[in-house]
Structure 1
Amino acid sequence: MAAARDLRATETAGDGGDDAIEMAKRHLIQPWPYAGSVGAEARALIGEGDGIYITDSTGKRLIDGPAGMWCVNIGHRREELAKVMYDQAMALSYNTPWYTMNAPSAELAMRIAGHAPGDLSHVFYTTGGSSAVETALRFMQFYNNVRGRPEKKLILSRGGAYHGSTYLSASLNGRPRDRDWMDGADDLVVKLSSPDPFRRPAGMNLAAFTDFLVDQFRDTVARIGADKIGAFVGEPVQASGGVVVPPDGYLKRIREICRENDILYVSDEVVTAFGRLGHVFASGDVFGIDPDMITFAKGVTSGYFPLGGVIISERLLEELRRSNHPDAMFGHGLTYTSHPVGCAVALRNLDILEESVLAHTREVAPYFQARLKTLEELPLVGEVRGMGLMGCVECVADRESNDPLQLDKDVGKRIDAHCHELGLLVRPLINMCVMSPPLIITREQIDDMVGILHEGISRTMDDLRKEGVWRG
């Protein structure tokens, strides 16, 4: 596949792209590289963005199906955000958070707290999603140390989960390929089953599957001991795991078990927050839960500036303030914590979301889901699932076994290559294609996107048949 990746990069190189591609191959290490091409790889070169579209170096305009990486929520080339960046940088480009502060960070914390469920009222800023999850876990450790419970540190996570790329946050990830060659803090993490209804045991209905997941969680707490478990971390919808939407009521029941056993519930909303499901936060407004902490990033600035954070329950902070260790220090912070430019951008981004984009998302989401669902007429497609403006097309070898392993493992990349030629960028995940377009997408643009995806999958089916890989 290394040759195919190099070919893809070459095909997207125009007059202005050749130099960039050569420089990348000589000097740039791409994220998530393979050993066989690390430090010698170039990827599809993107030159411009406008609204829901991006343009590659050949001038081809593409629908930005993944919205960057789940993040360009209000679309590309929003002049009002660019102006905010300029104005704030000209006023104050940076201040050290160790012993000073800036006004945008304080105002944004107040605005975010106003949207958060329950008593989540205080914000700690980070630089992105991985550092947000890392911060939540380090806060859990600090919290239990101060309360005299140094043994209460284990973390519950799930199969299919994705929580980041730092050492501790990556240790929570439940996708096998993420950990095949990477180390992790395995002594701190306990993995539970993915809440994926499509992969539930044969013959088990949804109610029974939900009971199985809840019973497994409760039994795990009983077996290990609640006095040893500090936190459960879960995405409301498992994003990079394939847009796994949990069964109804599952999250509420897990939340209750956490509350009963004094286990901190961390809702990882790095993807689902700031409009992806039609609300600023999905935990309360969509799923009816009030976590102890919520992590966020990506859509908080619509990808225009790196920013993330953790919203923390007032109850937890009050317990720390009442403790017998007032001098205990939460020894954690980042150089760019509370960055004034990032916080200023997030404030304007939140204005735009509140003014119209959240309502628009809720209005077009049912149409988006219905149109994607029509792809199930294609025999290569095992299931189309999603929520809000998140969707996944999962391809299978056959619908009796729902087995993806008999297919070429790069079927998602094959579909993406065809869609790229047709005018759509797709997020390929092995046998899956994930779609999470900018929230400003219209019904007509949804029709265009689904039409291209239909043709891309059809062409991939033809390829697989010709190669004898698939007989569907």
Structure 2
Amino acid sequence: MIAPMALARPSPQELWEMDRQHLLHPWTNFGPFEREGALVITRGEGCHLWDAEGRRYFDAVGGMWCTNVGLGRREMAAAMAEQAERLAFSNTFVDVTNDPSARLAARLADLAPGDLNRVHFTTGGSTAVDTAVRMVWYWQSCMGRPEKTDIVARDHSYHGATYLSQSVGKRPGDRVAEFRYKETGIHHLSAPNPYRRPEGMSEAQFCDALVAEFEALIVQVGADRIGGFIAEPIQASGGVIVPPQGYLRRMWEICQRHDILFIADEVVTAFGRLGHWFASEAEFGVVPDMITCAKGLTSGYVPLGAVIFSDRIWQAMAANGERWFTSGFTYSGHPVSCAVGLKNLEIIEREGLLENAARVGDYFLERLQALEALPLVGQVRGRRLMVCVENVADKATKAPLPDGVNESKRISDAAEAMGMMVRPLGHLNVMSPALTITEADVDFVAETLERAIRQVTDELVREGHRIG
């Protein structure tokens, strides 16, 4: 018989062991996990987390780019509870809806740029991207172009973890031999990373080359076969890559000329991370045909994603009223999730969190860019509350350390021991804190990260690595 667990709260060690023995984590690295297990988090408030042992951490990662309004908000929990008591579930298939779903769809249409007035709810960012790609196929077929189904993405992109969305993305390390990916009908262009542009090429020339690469692909594949182009306004998990000036606008113009739908993957950049509801138009002058979003839509309190798309897409799909859109999920438009989404947007607006993200975000980037003076730091880049530090062995050549050195994980471990969480990704340390962050918090992040980098640099030099 299984002992009734509710009678005795497990100890920190028991929780750690339960997790180690039974849970398969996303992106599990089996060797380290089986040896070291996982850090068990038990509480969150604002920008801080507490582990099972009671240690407190400043969460500079923001969950996973998502805890925009901060953790532990009673009114978010109240919105959840009140909606669950009133209507815990109602499907939105075919001709049924619910109050929060209808209201949130209208609110998103009001906030989105241009004529993006239609909303399809999903379970998260991966399913939003999956749906958007399928919507490209659907719309092109409705327009009398059933062969115009190829999708163009970029290297170092991350678009999700379903079979289709991970096939569209192409971030180093995500493709493993044990899985299979859709290969036909998906093309990848160069990442628009100015830091890694060819030697001797100006940023403007680099932008020209990227645009020319897209135009050449269209000639090679055929405009009659390419149906959609998908781009994160800033490539998030692929390295916080801010594209060259004018790049996204020029790529959008190419799409317009060739009837290629432009999908802006704003799963990370939407709902305040850059100081705007959406970044595509506000930051980059592009009104896309679709926006995929999730994460900051509910600030991570519950799962929810959405595809926000244009009236012209809807009109073509709905023409003559004869077609069925056979895509969706049991939890599309879940009433509890949508009620939380509404409350989340209310808090962001009421507390001026977009303005705070812009003001403190500018200070955040400026303060962290001072770390470029350190021997191990090649570049600090990003925009506002979306920043990464790229570590290099040689500043002049931008050569990284060997992968096995794992310096970014060592830096995150050192920072964790000092009471702060940053996210290691390859040779990067990534930060995306809550929109509630203060300038004093920024100072703490910058000072702690500097101490951690200096500590790890000293260790590397003692181990015989040449740095700088």
Scaled to the shorter chain, the TM-score interval is over 0.9
Match of 2:359 in 1: 363
- On the 8 A contact 2:142/2:316 being kept in 1, the answer is no
Residue 290 of structure 2 is aligned with which of 269, 288, 293? Answer: 293
CA distance in 1, matches of 2:251, 2:115: 19
Match of 1:128 in 2: 124
Matched, 1:148 2:120: no
Residue 69 of structure 1 is aligned with which of 28, 40, 64? Answer: 64
Matched, 1:224 2:221: yes
Q: After superposition, give the CA deviation of every residue in 1:329-374 in whole Å (9 maximum; x if it has no partner).
A: 1110100000000100010110111121111111111111110101
Matched, 1:48 2:70: no
Q: After superposition, give the CA deviation of every residue in 1:245-287 in whole Å (9 maximum; x if it has no partner).
A: 0111100000000010000000000000000011111111111
Residue 83 of structure 1 is aligned with which of 64, 67, 78? Answer: 78
Match of 1:205 in 2: 202
- On the 8 A contact 1:27/1:39 being kept in 2, the answer is no
Matched, 1:284 2:281: yes
Match of 1:343 in 2: 338
Distance 1:37 1:385, change over 3 A: closer
Match of 2:428 in 1: 432
Distance 1:409 1:211, change over 3 A: farther
Matched, 1:255 2:233: no
Q: Which runs of 5+ in 1 are unaligned?
A: 1-13
Match of 1:60 in 2: 55
Q: Which runs of 5+ in 2 are unaligned?
A: 1-8
Matched, 1:396 2:403: no
- On the 8 A contact 1:26/1:40 being kept in 2, the answer is no
Matches within 5 A, 1:14-25: 16-25=11-20
CA distance in 1, matches of 2:109, 2:334: 18
Match of 1:308 in 2: 305
Q: After superposition, give the CA deviation of every residue in 1:94-127 in whole Å (9 maximum; x if it has no partner).
A: 0022242101111111111111111100100001
Displacement of 1:40 in angstroms is 8.0
CA distance in 2, matches of 1:139, 1:245: 27
Displacement of 1:146 in angstroms is 2.6
RMSD: 1.5
Distance 1:465 1:431, change over 3 A: same
Match of 2:101 in 1: 105
Secondary structure in 2 aligned to 1:226? coil
Residue 377 of structure 1 is aligned with which of 373, 376, 388? Answer: 373
Displacement of 1:408 in angstroms is 4.2
Match of 1:8 in 2: none
Match of 1:11 in 2: none
Matched, 1:184 2:181: yes
Secondary structure in 1 aligned to 2:224? helix
CA distance in 1, matches of 2:338, 2:10: 37
Matched, 1:28 2:18: no
Distance 1:457 1:155, change over 3 A: same
Secondary structure in 2 aligned to 1:322? helix
Displacement of 1:466 in angstroms is 1.3
Match of 1:245 in 2: 242
CA distance in 1, matches of 2:332, 2:35: 33
Match of 1:159 in 2: 155
Distance 1:419 1:281, change over 3 A: same
Q: After superposition, give the CA deviation of every residue in 1:147-200 in whole Å (9 maximum; x if it has no partner).
A: 332211110000110000000000012213101323211112100000000000
Secondary structure in 1 aligned to 2:328? coil
Match of 1:265 in 2: 262
CA distance in 1, matches of 2:328, 2:37: 34
Secondary structure in 1 aligned to 2:210? helix
CA distance in 1, matches of 2:314, 2:218: 25
Secondary structure in 1 aligned to 2:459? helix
CA distance in 1, matches of 2:176, 2:207: 29
Match of 2:4 in 1: none
- On the 8 A contact 1:25/1:40 being kept in 2, the answer is no
Secondary structure in 1 aligned to 2:161? coil
Deviates more, 1:41-50 or 1:399-408: 399-408
Displacement of 1:328 in angstroms is 2.1
- Aligned residues: percent identity? 47
Secondary structure in 1 aligned to 2:43? strand
Deviates more, 1:30-39 or 1:329-338: 30-39
Q: After superposition, give the CA deviation of every residue in 1:131-157 in whole Å (9 maximum; x if it has no partner).
A: 000010111111122333221111000
Displacement of 1:37 in angstroms is 6.2
Displacement of 1:223 in angstroms is 1.3
Matches within 5 A, 1:4-19: 16-19=11-14
TM-score normalised by length of structure 2: 0.95
Secondary structure in 2 aligned to 1:176? coil
Distance 1:282 1:410, change over 3 A: same
- On the 8 A contact 1:409/1:430 being kept in 2, the answer is no
CA distance in 2, matches of 1:105, 1:40: 44
